[in-house]
Structure 1
Amino acid sequence: MNPRRNFLKKSIIGAVSATLVDGVYNSVEAKPLGGAHAKDEPFKLGIAGYSFVNFNLDQSLEMMKKVDVHYLCIKDFHLPYNSTAEQIATFHAKLKSFDVTGYAVGPIYMKTREEIDKGFDYAKRVGVNLIIGIPNHEDLAYVAEKTKEYDIRYAIHNHGPEDKLYPNASVIYDLIKNLDPRLGICFDMGHNKRDGRDSVADLQKYSKRIFDMHLKNVTAATKDGKTCELGRGVIDIPAYVKMLRKVNYTGSCSLEYEKDMKDPLAGIAESVGYFRGACDGTR
């Protein structure tokens, strides 16, 4: 049988089991990836908050509990930019009750320097040390100065061939390579592939400046490619996992699931399970 099909079979079985055994995995001893070897991986499995754009925080956390994922990139529809200290504390308490850690904020579009200032202030008040952002090219030096001022890392997100600013990781790297090393990349491997790039090779090439990534597969390496379940696209996920280990990536791999966004749990569960199967199956 095709190795990728083996991984997919494993994913569905594991995901269904995790969903049925509600609450078993939600403990302080939970492993970042799940499975026997998860504690040996240098990277963590998370979920990008945009995956839950149609759901409130409680609904989102319930889905994370079902698939045993414990890291969340925070979006403003769950924690608004103007949140008070009390609201932020309540938000973190809610996450903690589900054994979830909010590790970053964004993506945040920052079209002016005022919006950049507000973004860094927001991250500081939320208590994270990573912003996923999209600034204008002419403001990159200013963003780099803010990373020094706040000692908060800033990862620029690529959005594929439609994105005139940052279509792929190579474009981002060329713009930031001589700027403060706290300025890096949020590597959307799916959109990178849609721009005709080899996402496994680019992970290796730009790994030193990749601070976060959106775990995503796509149906084609073209502009018309659509996001899909992790094991059903054109990116070789087992090869990608091997490269994560080779470059010793230590950040989060946050699933950004953009298919069936009004009913995403089955696709999220399949994708999470597939990723865990790929991790176990490539050792």
Structure 2
Amino acid sequence: MAASRSHLALSRRELLTRGLGVAGALAVGRSALALSAALPEFLALAAPFKIGIQSYSLRGYTKDGKADRAKALAVSHDLGVHFWEAYPAHIPMTDDLDQIRLIKDEMSAAGVETIGFGVIPFRKGDPANRKAFEFAKNLGVSYLSADPEPDSFDDLDKLVDEFDIGVGIHNHGPGHRYDKIDVIAKAIEKHHAKIGCCIDTGHFLRSKEDPVRAAEVFGKRVYGVHLKDVKDAQHFTILGKGDLNTHGLLRVLNANGYKGLVAVEYEENEKNPVDDVRACLEEVEKVLQAGL
């Protein structure tokens, strides 16, 4: 109907009024600073899928020569990020259930849920394949982003079916074995529907592939999205400053009924990425305000 609007096109203030109550919205409206701080609530209300980050974006925070999960979680909390695809250096794989419980408690205390994990390899006949799925189940993730050996798919067919955990093939850019949309599509076409693609928009742009077409081609077999921007197929940049059609991508994901994680991933400014990651999240907000 011409007179109606999708909730995705409502203003941030309208969404906050509906989602937080009038008192909360009035408090938010007192200053531009407060309104900016409400970004996470807006994203949670407006997005038909989960908006978060690939924690690789925060890899530059280290302690004793290792990725500092506590710092990465603190930064995520400050950004209002509630969802991670976890980079293995932040959450190393383990079969120690007590250690996994401690990690989950730490994540929960920071208000962050781990939706996905990766990128990890799979090899034919490797016992580590099952261990990865056991770890994923114990951690509570819904998918693994992966770089599987071409002869490992028969193993994966059985594991995704047994554990009901998706595997998204991650495209790593020019020269990688999975750098092209059609190559990935061919690799998965005769395999279990829980094996699909983790769309890395930046690497597809570097490979001169269209990420929007990737969302169209993979449809229900999208398991994870790494949302990043690239200019002229060469330079990683803040979302909205490169060649990614973010609106087109999110529109197709929404039309396909995607409910999973769209993880902002920022490659640059490794030592202090906070302002740039925030700018990327604000670009997602801008796209959502335009409506899908």
TM-score category by the smaller chain?
0.7 to 0.9
Deviations 1:38-83 (A, max 9, x none): 4253211011121122221121112212221100112222222235
What's the offset of the Cα at 1:171? 1.5
Identity of aligned residues (%): 25
Q: 1:136 aligns with which of 127, 141, 149?
A: 149
Which amino acid in 1 is paired with 2:88? D
Amino acid at match of 2:286: G
C-alpha distance in 2 between matches for 1:111 and 1:49? 24
**Residue in structure 2 matching 1:196, options 203, 208, 214:** 208
**Alignment-derived partner of residue 128 in structure 2:** 115
Pick one of 47, 66, 74 that aligns with 2:53. Answer: 47
8 Å Cα contact 2:199/2:211 also seen in 1: no
Is the contact between residue 57 and residue 78 of structure 1 (CA under 8 Å) also seen in structure 2?
yes
Counterpart in the other structure of 1:148: 161
Counterpart for residue 94 of structure 2 = 82
Q: Is the 8 A contact 1:18 1:66 kept in 2?
A: no
Q: Distance in 1 between matches of 2:287 and 2:115?
A: 24
Question: Alignment partner of 2:52: what SS?
Answer: strand
Structure 1 CA distance for aligned equivalents of residues 59 and 80 of structure 2: 19
2:79 paired with 1:73: no
Equivalent residue, structure 2, for 1:34: 41
Would the aligned equivalents of 1:67 and 1:272 in 2 still touch at CA under 8 Å?
Answer: no
8 Å contact from structure 1 (residues 43, 253) kept in 2: yes
* Aligned twin of 1:220: 232
Indicate which of 248, 253, 262 corresponds to 2:257: 248
Instruction: Flag the structure with more relative contact order, 1 or 2, with Cα contacts below 8 A and sequence separation at least 6.
Output: 1
* Residues 51 and 263 in structure 2, CA contact (< 8 A), matched pair in contact too: yes
What is the CA distance between 1:114 and its match in structure 2?
2.7
Deviations 1:68-116 (A, max 9, x none): 1100112222222235211111111111112111112111123452332
Gaps of at least 5 residues in structure 1 are 1-9, 11-15, 26-30
Counterpart Cα distance in 2 of 1:48 and 1:72: 6
The SS at the match of 1:161 is: coil
Match of 2:243 in 1: 234
Cα 1:178/1:17, change in 2 over 3 Å:
farther
Q: Does the 8 Å contact 2:87/2:119 carry over to 1?
A: yes
Aligned-partner Cα distance in 1 for 2:252–2:81: 22
CA deviations over 1:96-143 (Å, ceiling 9, x no partner): 112111112111123452332221222123232311111100111211
Question: Which whole-Å CA distance do the structure 1 matches of 2:101 and 2:53 have between them?
Answer: 21
Equivalent residue of 2:179, what SS?
A: coil
TM-score, normalised on structure 1? 0.82
* Aligned match for 1:278, one of 274, 279, 287: 287
Superposed CA deviations along residues 139-194 of structure 1, whole A, max 9, x for unmatched, are 1121111112222211111111131x211332112111121111111111111121
Secondary structure in 2 matching 1:104: strand
Q: In structure 1, how many angstroms separate the alpha carbons of the residues matched to 2:262 and 2:164?
A: 22
SS in 2 for 1:178: coil
Q: How many residues align?
A: 255
Q: Verify the 8 A CA contact 2:123 2:151 in the aligned structure 1.
A: no
Say whether 1:92 aligns with 2:104: yes
Rounded to whole Å, the distance in 2 between the matches of 1:18 and 1:95 is 25
Match of 1:262 among 271, 283, 291: 271
RMSD: 2.3
Give 1:145's aligned amino acid.
K
Separation in 2 of the partners of 1:118 and 1:155? Answer: 17
Contact 1:169-1:187 at 8 Å conserved across structures: no
